[in-house]
Structure 1
Amino acid sequence: MTTITERYELAKAKYAEIGVDTEAALQKLQQVKISMHCWQGDDVKGFLTPDGELTGGIMSTGNYPGAAHTPAQLRADLEKAYSLIPGKHKLNLHAIYLDTDEAVDLDQIEPKHFEKWVTWAKEQGLGLDFNPTFFSHPMMKDGFTLSHPDKAVRDYWIEHGKRSRKIAEYFGKELGETCYTNFWVPDGFKDNPIDRLSPRKRLMESLDEIFAEEIDEQYNVDTVESKLFGLGAEAYTVGSHEFYMGYGLTRNKAILLDAGHFHPTEVISNKLSSLALFSKKNLMLHVSRPVRWDSDHVVIMDDELQDIAKELVRNDLLEKTAIGLDFFDATINRVAAWVIGTRNTQKALLKAMLEPTDQLKEMENSFDFTSRLAYTEELKDFPYGDVWNYFCEQNGVPVGLDWLKEVRAYEENVLTER
């Protein structure tokens, strides 16, 4: 039987015929850190309240057994997922995932409420990213937070935003790795509004107040995320793409693009090159999979995922882009969802890295569209899977479907006992 190494050597030789160095590609992939989202593990409930009850803004469907109910359970599930994913990565935390015995509200959170996460991240060799939570809370009044007409409501959420940035700064200092702090605000109207301007003005002013304090970007980088519509905000979202494009570019903030936050036929891959030209900051992505709407399905190896990876690699944007994931599915094993989504994102990047990019650009620049088409089509049949399997083996993680056996054993021994 041909070994994984032998198959890799054959693939290496085949790629070399078109000028691709697989060793260089693997070294490059090894350096890419994916920010895996914590909220897949417990269906976006968090630990702010004992029952984790949602009060609007986010919903995960399904009742697959084994959801995490405590921070310790969530960390155990994350450890299992990371053990099946090649490389060292990051964890993306939402504010509602604090770990403390103290009764504390979102406008009172402090670094001390996340110390256990930092200790764990150090033990695991992981970086942390952060998100203030502008949903699932009674102070989300009438579907609004930072853009609410009531100043008391806005002030509550402004304080939450300020404290979130200090927590992110703490993460960055403790872990020696920049924390990306993402602001997504779901404010909007269910039906057609009369005044579209005033809520956006209030959101702009609220964000300005949150960001008034300068924080060293060695520790914290602020990002802002748009959305077309959401549950209860089908007609109008205050934080639209145009709003955050303007805000990010004029306030020198990183702009985050979520693959599910646009029109059903609109893709983020085609936006990356434009943003890269005008934004002085790094970009950030939430790689997700919308099905007809922002439904946050687990990332699969579809055309858009591969196009996102190609844009990042072909335009040398990897070092300028922070890659995070954002999906939640409670109809399947939650650990498996993490593994499938993260490994697929890595696979897509590897496929892009295994292209003869310089040659393809030369063909295009000389208007040799015949060769360009021939190469891009033939590359679809090249043995990238053998290179991927070798990458997994070199990183000491399961190859092929072997990871699923470990997830099934974990489900039987741990998840079903909850």
Structure 2
Amino acid sequence: MTRRSLRPGRRCRQAYFGRGKNKQSLDAVEKAAFFVTLDETEQGYKEEDPVTSMDSYAKSLLHGRCFDRWFDKSFTFIIFKNGKMGLNAEHSWADAPIIGHLWEYVMATDSFQLGYLEDGHCKGDTNPNIPYPTRLQWDLPEECQEVIETSLTSANRLADDIDFHSFPFTAFGKALIKKCRTSPDAFVQLALQLAHYKDMGKFCLTYEASMTRLYREGRTETVRSCTAESCDFVLAMEDPTQTVEQRLRLFKIASEKHQHLYRLAMTGSGIDRHLFCLYVVSKYLAVESPFLKEVLSEPWRLSTSQTPQQQVELFHLDKNPEYVSSGGGFGPVADDGYGVSYVLVGDNLINFHVSSKFSCPETDSHRFGKHLREALTDMITLFGFKSNSKK
């Protein structure tokens, strides 16, 4: 490959960061375990402005001002001016539950075991052997700075296009869903199908992340949540001529199908990792496969994931509600689609993150959030329950 054919960023890296103080400083950054951002903005949930504050909080953790998040790092530890904290995690080294497990452990240990003094300082003695931070030295000529500015402009354009809506659903949680004798995840996934149909008037290929941790070094598999059974249920919900009994029957069928697909994905019998393996083999053998070309190019217009809370007992959320997590989120996978993440917190709360792109005239994250709340409420009503019901 000739130097002329390299992208500007790669050419800039080779020309200005391959030797001297720039290489030394860049090596220090790239060999670090993680990245810390002391963010000058104030973020977090504000009771007087819940919608805007949570949307701003989510967007800040996702991309910040672009130059203050190191996206190639394992994770960026972000501390805001008002003491709120969060993480931006890079995905190749581990999946979201791993970073979530780490974060739960750190928060619980810091708050309930190590603790703080009255003046806000950490308890315990300082370690005098920890070296002081040192400022990295750089030599950036004007041509290099121009490339950096161009890259920042491109990154800002992408970040500004993200329509991110984060909100708590407090009407009910997994406790009431379990009274419906169904999986909470299946219930939420069917609600997402209903919400998408309300929002777009059609169905789409849906991705739900499933873990394969039963296997050594297992990562994820895909649950294709949009099924013939889920479509039948959604259409029945939107058909005013259908009775509650008919809708409940179709719900049960769709729910059982989803749970079956999830079990298959967890135990190595999913579809998409096998398709990826076939793709890798086809590339190795230089075989053109029309089937693989078509199936792997289909867009995931609804990409979803549940963030599992694994160590709830560390927090005792009923006694310490201020430690409730809003979970994590991600951007949309398709330019004309939605990215939806959710976390079932305790028994009575579900936190959602909905993302899309402002540049797409068909999508709207806040509109989808509205339809999702309606879908959840419509579905729980089928079982004779009401929001916040103790029935």
Q: Which TM bucket (shorter chain)?
A: under 0.3
Query: Normalized against structure 1, the TM-score is what?
Result: 0.26
Query: Normalized against structure 2, the TM-score is what?
Result: 0.27
